[in-house]
Structure formats: C-alpha cells, structure tokens
A and B are shown apart, each in its own frame.
Chain A
Amino acid sequence: MIIDRNHKNNNRNMIIINKMLGEVEKPGRYTGEEYNEIKKENDQQLIRIALAFPDLYEIGMSYLGFKILYDIINKREDSWAERVFSPALDFEKSLIKNDIPLFSLESFRPLSEFNIIGFSLQYEMSYTNILNILHLGRIPLRARNRDKENPLIIAGGPVAFNPEPLAEFIDLFVIGDGEEVINEIIDIYKDWYGKSENSSKKELLNNLVRLPGIYIPSFYQVNYHTDGRISFFQKNEKHAPFKIRKRIVKNLDKTPFPIAPIVPNIDVVHNRITLEVFRGCTRGCRFCQAGIIYRPVRERSVGCLLELAENSFINTGYEEISLSSLSSSDYSQIDSLTKKLVDCYQNRGVGISLPSLRIDNFSVHLANQTQRVRKTGLTFAPEVGTERMNKIINKNVSEEDLFRTVQYAFKMGWRRIKLYFMVGLPAETQEDIEGIIRLIKKVEMMGREKVGKKFSLNISINALIPKPHTPFQWVAQETEEELNKKFRYIIQKIRSNSISLSFSDTKLALLEAVFSRGDRRLGDVLEEAFRRGCKFDSWREHFNFKSWQESFQKFDLDMAFYAHRERGKDDIMPWDLIDCGVSKQYLWSEWEKAIQEANTDDCRQSICNSCGLEDICQEIGINRNNS
C-alpha cells in the first residue's frame, strides 16, 4: 500500500516496510499522506526537491519556514517539493537492518534520487542530524565528493548566518528570506539541468552564485594565523562576491503565505495555524540574534491577516490560531487584530494564542482577551535581575514593570507564571545573580498572597550563548564551572514547593557556543563526532559529550578557543562574508554601549539608530528620522 506508489517494489519489500512501520514507535511520522500533502505525477521533467528537516517529524512540522517553502515550490508546475525528517533511532536501525535508504514522505523516493535537497537550519545542535540524513540517504557527506549525479545540497535559515561549520558539507547557502530566492534557484537549476549532460556541477554553482543572497563556501579559501584566528578570506572564483547580502522580502502582504499547510495525522509540537503577523524586531536586545538578522520590521496588514486566518481555518480545521512574531504585542494593530479574531472564532471552537508577549499590562490585557475563560499559563522573559544588567543587555524592562504586570495577571485570574532568565552575561557580578533570586522570590510572594495554594511558578535559567551578528559576538562565554557554580547557588537559595527551576545543560551550552561562532575547521570535528555516533545532540538523552571531546582532540582543536575567547575589535569573524544588513561597526558600538551601561531606543519609538539598514528602510518606506 505504501511503497508501491511510485516505485515498483515487489510484494516482499512492501511487507518489509509495513512490518518496519508496525514495529517502531509513532509510525505516523513516516507514512506521509496527511491532509493537504502535495502529490504530483511522477514526470521525468519534474525538478524533484526534498525539503529536509534535521530533527523528528513532530519538530520539523512545527516550523513555518518549512511550510512556506513547501507551498511556494509546489505551486510551480515544473517542481515537486517533498519532505524528509530525521528518523528516530528505532526507525533508523530498522532502515539499516533492512537495507532501505532514507526516503521522502510523499513518494517514498530515496534521497539520492532527488535533484535538490534543502536543509532547514534552525539550531546548531542539529548539525550531526544533517550528516546522518545524508548518510542514510546514501549521499556523500562532503560537497567536494559529490558531482552532478548527486543532489545539489542547499541550506538556509537563521543558523545559515554563520554557515562556516557546515562549509564542507553544503554546496550552497541561502542567506535571509527564502521566498523569492528559492524560485530563482530553481529557475537556474532547471536551465542547467536541461543541458547538464555537457555541463558540470561547477558551472551550475557559477550560475547560482550570481544570485544575491547566495553563499557558496567552496568558492572561498580561509587562511589562518598561527594562533588559530582567521587572517584573510580568498576567492577562488571570479564571480563570487566578497559580501553576501541577505535577502529581504519587502512587502509581506504580497509575499506568499501557506494557507493550506499540511495537517499532520499525529500530534506535533505546534499543531495549529501559525499566522506570521510581522517579521523582524528592533527592540535591540544585545544578546538576541533574531532581533538583528530578521530586520527590518515588516508588518502584514490586519485585512491580509484576517483573510489568511479564514482561509487557513477552512483548509485545515485547526482549533487554534497562533499569532507569531518575535514580540507579538509590538504589532502596531495588535489590539484590533486580536479583537477581530476572537470575535470571529470564539463561537466556532477556535482559540487564539499569543506566544511571545512583552512584559506590560497591555500584553496581559491582550492575553485576557484571547483567553476570556480558561487561563493557562503566562510566560515572560525578564532575562535579568538588576537595573544595571538591564542596561547592558538593553532589554529596557524594569523590575516595576515586571511586578506590575504579574500583579495584573493575578488579578485577571492567572495562576501559573513562567519566567525566563539568563546568566553568564558580560560584566555579570554576584549582585546580578542575587537580583534574579530577589525577583523570583518577590514574584513568588506576590503569587502566594494573591493566588494562594494553586499558584505555580516555572523558572527557566539559561546560559548566554554569544551569537554571531549580535553586539555580544565578541564576548567570551563563561566556563561550565562558573555557570554551574551560579546555578547551584540559585538552587540553594530558592527552595519552594510552588517553584520549579530548570537550567540549561552547561555542556550542551558550551558546544552550542562553539558551533555558533565556529569556523570551517570544525567540519572535521563534526564528521568525526557523527562517525562516533553523535546525533540528536539537543536531546539530553542522546547527547554524548565524551564523543565530542574525543573528536576535538583528534583534530587538535580546542573548544575553549571558540567558546571562551574574547574577540578583539579587528578580529576577522568566520561569518564576516555574510552581510546581515546591520553593520559590524554598529554592532561594535552597541557592544561599547553595553559596557558603558547605556540604552539604545527602539527605532520604532524613537529616531533611526543607523544600524546599517537605512537604505532598505527607505526603499520599503519606513522613515524613522521624522518621528
């Protein structure tokens, strides 16, 4: 029933796959055939594209970018986008045992038979899963070992803003918004494919590199100082640009949005309509990469959003519509949008949710509108516990804001609060740790007083991971030892039945810090760790730090060099070829302001900060200088 759809497999193979599915956990991950899945005739002329997500089905099916690309590609008559996810370990074992290559969900086609495989890069700790997908798909891992007979391996997403650790494995990176460039890539590929008999992979790459926003790592050579820092980049190809400017879609109302996304048959992490209200954020929190790389802010209009919501509902039957963005309460029309959505859907069994809320009464008011009856938890991210640290990270939320907001939330009937904090920030002192403890205790006191026994407080404390393209990109990450000391101290000070505390795994945080600011020499380490069995590293139960340590030793590379080294102003960063729009000079000035404990205002409420995107803002019609 399953395998014989496109591939003429014999009875026996069919039984094997069905037997495999019958023996693994959650077989619904691997069957495809969900509502709104796209199937096409198996035409020789079709450009076959596999969209690959290097994590489980339940995770991958929750990402909006993945759905956007699936929709755009499948609207083309000349192409067919299918999906592939990391198989869970039991299914992987079964694939190997039964000698079956990893296949796509739509047509059960082995990965090696696709024209293009596009990886979604959402977090660094999925890198080993990328190698595993290639391996299980029987595709050579290294870009240089693949020729035109192999699929073209491309990748994009937020983590592509430092593509270097994957430089050895990926043929081509897409930097920035993918909605337009994906079509341009397919057009060029198709043109080349038509005459590929007489043409090489290199020629294809040479055609593609002319597109703005495309980074082809094999076209550059990286040279190093003896101390391991980068000395200079060298181009190997004439047309390769020295700066790869990220792609920006200018008008979201006119940008395609998937109104008929696939409705998974099994439960996934975010099983709901995701309505992207706006893209970008200019609050300027100095640790936040998303706040830089998705600039400038581009909103969808209320009219457009209502239409998208209605169409998405009709096409999916989802009982929840989630307003997604980096900070939903910052949408200029948020009050009117939420009111309209609630009015339209509350009697139809459909709820509205606002996942990322600012810390103020207005946000609680919004949440109250969407959850008039049932109050699930409210989540806020104060991040720090002192005024001084607030200025360093430029979060601009005062203690009073938090207390007032929480107070109001209790008054409106909430009993469960979740708070996010960060430690290991630059210039952090004992006082800042005490500040976090004080804040938690105060909120707890308020909760006990206002709510009583049913009050619960969830605290999540994470280590800072300095990210590329942020003002903290020059900062040394704190060592595991220091971080653990701080975590232990907080645990000691906070003992309460109504509070549950969780901390990030410091070893995982270390590795993430290494890869987020890593260079292409890490490719060897990555492959070695993969060969030693590392995968699903972000899943605590699979994470094997020892194998990682051994892999670093083998190539004589030092995690501390990447994680714990403070960079100098003039250091060449591995991601310096990538131009995210915000200038390095601006980021440095923000870093200097951080040390001086000085705030930078949000340009939506104040004047333009000249972050480097002025020309784009002008082109889109955002004019901040007059306000």
Chain B
Amino acid sequence: MSYLYRMKYQKNGPLRFISHLDLNQLFRRVLLRADIPVELTEGYNPRIKVSFGPALPLGIEGWQEITEIVLKEPLAEEELKGKINKVAPSGFKILEVEEVSNKRIPLSKLLRQASYLFYLIPVDAIDANKMVYYHNKIEQYVKCLLDRKDIKIKKESKKGLKEVDLRPYISKINIFSKNNDRIIICLILNIEAGVCINPNPIIQMLADVVKDYFLIGKIIREKFISESLI
C-alpha cells in the first residue's frame, strides 16, 4: 500500500531566491531529516517520491504552493505537518496536509489558474492626488492591454528567440492602492495544458507605465485556483 499526501506550503523569505530544482532537493532533505516513512522509487538510484506543482520563477514568493508525496505507511495529517515543519529551513512551511490516496488527479490537470500579487512602491513619498493619478494611469493601460487581440513577446529558449502570445494566459488584472504607500496589483493567469507562464514580463509591462516613480516591491504567487472552485 502507498499513501498519497497533498500539501500546501509556503516558499518565501530567502527561499524565493532558489530554483525549482534546488527546492526539490531541499524538500527531499527535509523529509529525510524529519524521518518520514517515504516511499522510494525503484531502480538503480532509489529516490523519494515527490512531485511539485508549477515551478515558481526566481524571486517570487509562494504563499500556497502545492506538492505531493507518497508514504509507505499512513501518518496523521497534523503529525506529518508538524514533523516536517520542525526541521524545515527558514522560508519553507507546510500549511495544510490532505490525504488524497482516493482522489488521484494529477496536479497538472487539477490546477487551472494562478493568482499573483505584486507591489509598486513609490521611489519618493507622494501625496494622495498623485497616487490616484498613477493608479488611473495603470488602469487605463490595463484596459488597453486586455482589449488587444494578442500580446506577443520574444522569449529566449534553447532554440533561440521564440514568440509567445501572452493574451490567452491573462484572465484578470485588478488594481488597488493602499494608504498612499503602494499600489497593489492582482494578476490572475490561466494555466493552459499544464503550462503556467512566467508572470514577470506582464509585471514589467505594468511597472513600466510608472517607471521612474515606482519600484517593483514584492511579487507573490498568492494561490492556485483548481478545477472544483471554478
């Protein structure tokens, strides 16, 4: 028997600067330290059975990322969470654990959208009127952007420059301003055929609208929106 556990975790602080591959390695070591009865893969080089949701681009915080592990014996959900968090490094924390042995839907099919938040922080302190002005400026830009048929950008790939259309991936862009000290933008992207695109080009476009006056602060992947919730 094997037992599948789906877990929501945080990847923030220093860990937002490590790659997906490094996170994978890091999590394996956490599981070994925590002495979790993980199932090993068969073959020459037995490895722990772990799978991850879509990779988080370097620099972005993940508030509710998703991973799955397979155990050889059942463990209470709270116990599993406690054991892992006790030996996790700063920036990694399991938030929720759910045993899903009976509902094995692959993560690539389950997750439909990803929701991102980012801050634009004024370079110098500005007053309320100015804030409204910049807010509106971005809003207008977003309106134009979403009216476009396509948003083509050049992307570097292994085979040289590739053209990608971002438009079908963009579901929603909402803008909020908070206490004159920042503009918060929420960006909801579609996950198409398991592909979760990098939000950075879109974020950069929006930030460029107020280029000399604002800096991009934190970027966060807030959560995933899955099949059942739509």
Residues on A facing B (Cβ under 8 Å): 1-2, 11-12, 15, 18-19, 21-22, 27-28, 31-35, 263, 265-267, 271, 313-319, 348-350, 373-374
Task: Give 23 pairs: A residue, B residue, CB < 8 Å, sorted on A.
Answer: A2-B13, A15-B121, A15-B217, A18-B218, A22-B17, A28-B17, A33-B13, A33-B14, A33-B89, A35-B29, A35-B89, A35-B90, A265-B14, A266-B19, A271-B25, A317-B28, A317-B29, A317-B31, A317-B33, A318-B32, A348-B32, A350-B32, A373-B45
Contact B30 A32 (CB under 8 A): no
Residues of B within 8 A of A267 (CB): 21-22, 25
CA gap between A313 and B21 in the complex, in Å: 21
Contact A314 B33 (CB under 8 A): yes
Alpha-carbon distance A56/B38, docked complex (angstroms):
34
- What's the nearest-Cβ distance from chain B to residue A233, in Å? 48
Residues A31 and B47 in contact, CB atoms below 8 Å apart: no
Say yes or no: A19-B215 contact (C-beta < 8 A), given A2-B14, A27-B59, A316-B29. Answer: yes
From B15, B48, B89, residue with most partner A Cβ within 10 Å: B89
CB distance from B195 to the nearest CB of A (A): 23
In the complex, are the beta carbons of A33 and B90 less than 8 A apart?
A: yes
- The B64-91 residues at the A interface (CB cut-off 8 A) are 87-91
Residues of A within 8 A of B14 (CB): 2, 28, 31-34, 265
Is the interface on chain B under 10, 10 to 19, 20 to 34, or 35 or more residues?
A: 35 or more
Chain B, Cβ-Cβ closest to A314: B33
Give Cα A1–Cα B59 distance, bound, in whole angstroms: 13
Q: Given the complex of chains A and B, what is the CA–CA distance between A374 and B26 in angstroms?
A: 23
Contact residues in A for B58 (Cβ distance below 8 Å): 22, 27
Q: Which 5 A-B pairs have the closest CB atoms?
A: A317-B32, A317-B33, A317-B29, A31-B14, A27-B17
Q: Does B18 contact A (CB under 8 A)?
A: yes
Q: Which residues of A contact B26 (CB under 8 A)?
A: 263, 265
Q: B44 at the A/B interface (Cβ < 8 Å)?
A: yes
Bound-state CA distance A553–B70 (Å) is 65
Please indicate the chain B residues that have their CB under 8 angstroms from the CB of A34 in the complex: 14, 89
**CB <8 Å contact, B33 and A316:** yes
Q: Mark B29-66, 1 if CB is under 8 A from A, else 0.
A: 11111100010100011111000000000110000000
Q: Beyond A22-B17, A31-B14, A317-B29: 17 further Cβ-contacts under 8 Å? A: A2-B14, A15-B121, A21-B59, A27-B58, A27-B59, A28-B19, A34-B14, A35-B87, A265-B15, A265-B26, A266-B22, A267-B22, A316-B29, A318-B32, A319-B29, A374-B44, A374-B45
CB–CB B29/A318 < 8 A:
yes
Query: Hey, which chain B residues are within 8 Å of A349, CB to CB?
Result: 32, 38, 40, 46-48
A265 contacts B18, C-beta separation under 8 Å: yes
A22 and B30 CA atoms in complex are apart in Å by: 25
Q: CA separation between A616 and B59, bound complex, in Å? A: 54
How distant is the Cα of A113 from the Cα of B19 in the complex, in angstroms? 32
Which of chain A's residues have a CB closer than 8 A to the CB of B33? 314-317
A31 to B61, CA, bound (A): 14
A31 and B30 form a contact (CB under 8 A)? no
Q: Is the pair A317, B87 in contact by a Cβ cutoff of 8 Å?
A: yes
Nearest-neighbour CB distance to chain A for B158, whole angstroms, equals: 18
A314 contact set on B, CB distance < 8 A: 33
Find chain B residues with CB under 8 A from A265 CB. 14-15, 18, 22, 26, 89
Residues from chain B with a CB closer than 8 A to the CB of A374 are 44-45
Q: Is the CB of A28 within 8 A of B215?
A: no
Q: Chain B interface mostly helix, strand, loop or mixed?
A: mixed
Which residues of B in the span 199-228 have a Cβ within 8 Å of any Cβ on A?
215-218
Contacts of B30 in A (CB 8 A): 317
CB distance from B41 to the nearest CB of A (A): 10
With contact pairs A27-B59, A265-B89, A317-B32 given, residues A1 and B22 touching in the complex (Cβ less than 8 Å): no
Residue of B whose beta carbon sits closest to that of A24: B17
Residues of B within 8 A of A318 (CB): 29, 32
**A residues within 8 A CB of B45?**
373-374
- Whether A22 contacts B13 by the Cβ 8 Å rule is no
Q: How far is the CA of A22 from the CA of B215 in the complex (A)?
A: 12
Chain B residues, Cβ within 8 Å of A18: 217-218
Cβ contacts under 8 Å, A373 to chain B: 44-45
Q: How far is the CB of A143 from chain B (nearest CB, A)?
A: 35
The interface residues of chain A lying within 8 Å CB-to-CB of B91 are 33
* Complex CA distance for A31 and B26, rounded to whole angstroms: 15
Which residue of chain B is the closest to A313 with respect to CB atoms? B32
Question: A29: nearest residue on chain B (CB-CB)?
Answer: B17
B214 to chain A, nearest CB (A): 11
What's the nearest-Cβ distance from chain A to residue B44, in Å? 4
B32 touches A263 (CB 8 A): no
Residues from chain A with a CB closer than 8 A to the CB of B13 are: 1-2, 33
Q: What's the least CB distance linking A452 to chain B, in Å?
A: 20
The answer to whether B46 and A11 touch across the interface, beta carbons within 8 angstroms, is no
A374→B41 CA distance, assembly (Å): 14
Alpha-carbon distance A260/B170, docked complex (angstroms): 46
CB nearest to A39 among chain B residues: B90
What residues of chain A lie closer than 8 Å to B121, measured between beta carbons? 11, 15
Contacts of A313 in B (CB 8 A): 32
Other-chain contact of A28, B18, B48, B87 (Cβ < 8 Å)? B18
Q: Give complex CA distance A350, B91 in Å.
A: 25
Interchain CA distance A320-B32 in the complex, whole Å: 12
- CA–CA, A308 and B15, complex, Å: 29
A11 to B59, CA, bound (A): 18
Chain B residue contacts of A22, Cβ below 8 A: 17, 58-59
Contacts of A32 in B (CB 8 A): 14
Q: Who on chain A is nearest to B15 by CB? A: A265
Q: Name which residue of chain A comes closest to B200, CB basis.
A: A22
Give the residues in chain A near B90, CB-CB below 8 Å.
Answer: 33, 35
**Residues of B with C-beta under 8 A to A31:** 14, 17
Complex Cα distance, B91 from A356, in Å, reads 37
Interface string of B129-154 (1 = CB under 8 A from A): 00000000000000000000000000
Give A28 to B47 CA distance when docked, in angstroms. 24
A315 to B21, CA, bound (A): 22
| Binary CB contact string for chain B from 88 to 115 against chain A (1 if under 8 A, 0 otherwise) | 1111000000000000000000000000
Within 8 A of A (CB), among B171-199: none
B residues near A316, Cβ cutoff 8 Å: 29, 33
Instruction: With CB as the reference atom, state the residue of chain A lying closest to B38.
Output: A349
Give Cα A133 to B45, complex, Å: 41
B121 to chain A, nearest CB (A): 6
Query: In the complex, A32 Cα to B91 Cα: how many Å?
Result: 11
Instruction: For B40, give the chain A residue with the smallest CB separation.
Output: A349
Flag if A319 contacts B32 (CB, 8 Å). yes
Closest CB-CB distance, B219 to chain A, in whole Å?
A: 9
Q: Give complex CA distance A263, B18 in Å.
A: 13
Report the bound CA distance from A34 to B19 in whole Å: 14
Q: Determine the chain B residues whose CB is within 8 A of the CB of A1 once the complex forms.
A: 13
Q: Measured between alpha carbons, how far is A478 from B215 in the docked complex, in Å?
A: 57
Output the nearest chain B residue to A375 by Cβ-Cβ distance.
Answer: B44
Q: In the docked arrangement, what's the CA distance between A266 and B16, Å?
A: 11
Whose C-beta in chain A lies nearest to the C-beta of B123? A12
Residue of B nearest to A16 (CB): B215
A522 vs chain B, min Cβ distance (A): 38
A266 to B14, CA, bound (A): 11
How far, in Å, is B71 (CB) from chain A's closest CB?
Answer: 14
Residue of A nearest to B48 (CB): A349
Q: Which of B44, B47, B89, B218 contacts A263 (CB 8 A)?
A: B89
A349 vs B25: C-alpha distance in the bound complex, in angstroms? 13
Q: CA of A271 to CA of B21 in the docked complex: distance in angstroms? A: 14
- Residues in A neighbouring B217, C-beta threshold 8 A: 15, 18
C-alpha spacing A267/B21, complex, angstroms: 9
How many angstroms between the C-alpha atoms of A313 and B33 in the bound complex? 7
Cα of A21 to Cα of B216 in the assembled complex, Å = 13
